[in-house]
Structure 1
Amino acid sequence: MKIFETAYLGPLTLRNRVIKAATFEGRTPEALVTDELIDFHRAVAAGGAAMTTVAYCASSPEGRTDRHQIWMRPEAVAGLTRLTETVHAEGAAISAQIGHAGPVANSKSNRATALASSWQISPLSMRLTRTASASDLDRIVADHARAARIAVQSGFDAVELHFGHNYLVSSFLSPALNRRSDQFGGSLENRARVARAVASAVRAEVGTEIAVTAKLNMDDGVPGGFWLDESLQVAQWLESDGSLDALELTAGSSLKNPMYLFRGDVPLRDFAASFPQPQRAGIRMVGSKFLRAYPYKEAYLLEQARQFRSAVDLPLILLGGISTRETMDLAMTEGFEFVAMARALLREPDLINKMQKEEVTSSLCIHCNRCMPTIYSGTRCVLVNEGA
C-alpha cells in the first residue's frame, strides 16, 4: 500500500492517502463561508491532498468555540456549496468536521451558556459551564444528525465527528471531567454513551451517502483523564456499532493541555500579542503553566496509535508529526490507511504535489507553532508571510 495510490474511504474514492487535518481557519467572521475560506481550501486541494477538512462546523450555535465559527444551518448552505464545488473542481474531496465544543466553547463570545459533562469554570470565558441534561443531550445528538444532513445538501463527501480534545463528547469520556452519577457517568460504558449515540445518529441520517469518520482521543494528556486502555475499548465499541468508516487518532486537551497534541516550540510571545491587556500580561506571566512544552519528533503519536491497529479492523488515520515522505511511507508499512497533515500543509499547501513529483521529501515546516496564535486572525504559517 503506497501513499500515492488510489484509496477508498467508505463510499469515497480518493486520489491518494493524504488528508488535510482540521485546523480552525479563522476565516468566518460572520459564522458563514467567505471567499478567504474558499481560497484556503482551494490551495490545499490544488496542492494535491486527497481530501481537505473544514473546521469547525458546529452542530449547535452554543457548540462553537466562539461566535465566529460556522454552525450548520440552512443559511450556511449556499456558501458551503460554493466551497465544496471549488474543492471538487481541483480534484479533491472535502470533509466537514462537525461537533459540539462543550466546555471548550466560549460562552461570553457565543452569548450562550457552555455545556459540559459536569460543571466547571471555563478557562476561556472564566464563567461556569452548565451540566448537560438528558434533554440537552437528546437535542445535541439530533443536532449532529441535522448537521450531517446539511453537509450532504452542501456537497460534502464526508463528515468528521469531533470526539477529541475535551470538546463535549470527549468531556464525557474523560474521568477527570465527567463526575456524573447518572447513566452518562461512572463506568466507561456510561461515559461512552454520548459518543456512540452521536455516531449512530449520524450514520442513520446519512447512510452511505457520505463517509463518516471520527477524531478520537487516545490520551487526554491530563492526570486522571481518558487514557489508552479506555480509548481502545471505545474504538472497539464504535467499530461494532458499524457507525464509522475510519478513525483519526488524536490526543490532548484544549482545556487543560493543548500542546500535548502539537509538540514543538511554544510561541508564548505570539500568543500574548494576540490578546488585549490585561490578558496579554497574564499569558506572558503564567502561560507556560498552561502551554506546557513537549519536544517534537516525527510520528510522535505512532506508538500509541499502532495499538489501535492491532485492536480494530477499521481504517485508521495517523495524525501527529507527519512532515516527511519517510514518515508517510512508515505509516503505510504500519498498516494505517491514511495520514493527516496540518502544519506542514499550512507551510506548503502544494507539498503533496511536490512530493509526488519527487521534487522534495520533507516539509519546510520547523514546528515553531507560530501558526497557532493566528487562528484569531486567519490561520497561516507566519514564516511564509515573513518571506522565510
Structure 2
Amino acid sequence: MTEARAPWGARAVPYLPLGLIAALGATLAYVVRLPCRTGGWNDQVATYTNFCYTDIYPLYFDRALATQNPYFADVPFDKQVEYPVVLGEVMQVISWIARWLEPDAVAQAVRFYDLTVILLGVCLVAGVLLMAAVAGPSRRWDPLWYAISPAVVLAAYINWDLVAGALSMGVLLAWKQRRLVLAGVLLGLAIATKFYPLMFVGALFLLTLRTARWRPFLVTMGSAVAAWLVVNLPFMIFAWEGWRRFYVFSQERGVDWGSPWLFFQTKGWPVLGEIDVSTLGMVSLAVLCLGIAVLTLAAPRRPRLAQICFLALAAFMMTNKVWSPQFVLWLVPFAVLARPNWKPLVLWQLAEVWYFVAIWLYLLSQPPLGRDDLGISDDTYFTAVWGRVITIGIMMAFVVRDILRPDKDVVRRTGVDDQAGGVFDDAPDRFTLTSALR
C-alpha cells in the first residue's frame, strides 16, 4: 500500500516524532529567552549579555499595539508598524487578547510576548511537518535541521518570521500536490506577511519557461495576486499612511547590521560614496538573478524547484541592506530541500551561531552603551558577517554543481525527479538556451 492510499492514521505516524522534536525546539527557544522574560527587557546590557533580545516585547509599546490598531494609529510615521498587513494584524489580534487578559500595561506586554511565542512555536511545528510532507518519504528526516538546529533555536523568537516560514512551506506542499489555487492563495498571504516569498515567483517562472506549463503558473499567480489584494486593499483604502509604512521604510532604510555593505561602508570604500547602497543592492541582486536564470535554462537537466528557490533567496539575503540574525529562519528549509548534505549545513550553522553571538556583543561596544569591556571590535564582528556570506556561498556553489551534474544530487539519486515540483515533476523540456542557440 502506497503512502497516498494508506489510512490517515498510518500516514500521520511518521510525522509524530518530527512534530515532537519541533515542539522541543520551540520550547528550547523559549528557554533561551527566559532571562529577559523574567528579568525584564529594559536593561540593554543584560539583554545583550544574556543573548535574549527580541523585537516582540518592545514593539508592543513602540508601535502603538498597547492602545490601537497600528495601521490606523495616530502616531508619528516612524512609530507605525513597519511590516506587511498580515503580520501587522497578527500582532494586533494578539495585543487585543493580551489587553483583555491583563489590565496592567507591563503585564500586557509580557502576556503579548508569551502569546506570540505560542503562535510562533505552532508555526515552527507546522513548518517542519509541511516540510516533511514536501521532502517525501525518502527524505523524511531532513526537516530535523529546521526543527532543532542551534541557529533556529537561537533565532526563533527574535521576530515573527516563523509565520511566513509556515506559509512558505504550505506553498511548496500545495504546489507539489498540484493544488494550484491553494498554492497561489498561500503565496499571496506569505508575501503579505514577509516580503521574501516574492523571490519564489521568479523560480516558478523560470521552470515554467523551461517546461511550458503556463496554465498552472498563471492560475497560481492569479490566485496569489487576488489573495494579496484581498488582505491589502482595505488598508490601502482606509489607512494609506499606515499601509505604505513598510514600503517607504524598506526603500529609505540605510545599511544596517549583518549586511556585507556595512563592512564596505565602515571601511570607507570610495564606491559607496558615489553609488547609493539601494542601487548597489538592486544591481547586485539583478546580476545574481540573471545568473540563476541562465543556469536554470542552460542546465543539462531541469533543476529542482527547491534548488532555484534556495539560490534566489540566498541571493536576496546576500545583497540586502540588512541581514538580521533571524533571517536564518528564511533559508534553513530551502537550503535543506535544495541540498540535504550535512557537511556544508553544519559549517553554515556554525557561522550563523557565531553571528548570533557576535551581533549582541558588538552592540554592547557601540553607542549609546559603549561597553568595550564587554563587547567586541569592528574587525571581530565582521568575521561573523563574512562567515555567513562565505558559508552560504559554499552551499550555493554545491547546489550549482548539482544542477550542472545531476548525478551528484543526493535527492535525485533516490530516483526522485523533483519532490516539490508538482507539474514540473518529470516534465520534458520545451525551451532551453541550448535549443534556442541551435
Question: Same fold by TM (over 0.5)?
Answer: no
Which has the larger Rg? 2
**Which has the larger share of helix?**
2
Q: Which of structures 1 and 2 has the larger relative contact order (alpha carbons within 8 angstroms, sep 6+)? A: 2
* TM-score (norm. length: structure 2): 0.29
* TM-score (norm. length: structure 1): 0.32
**Which has the larger share of strand?**
1
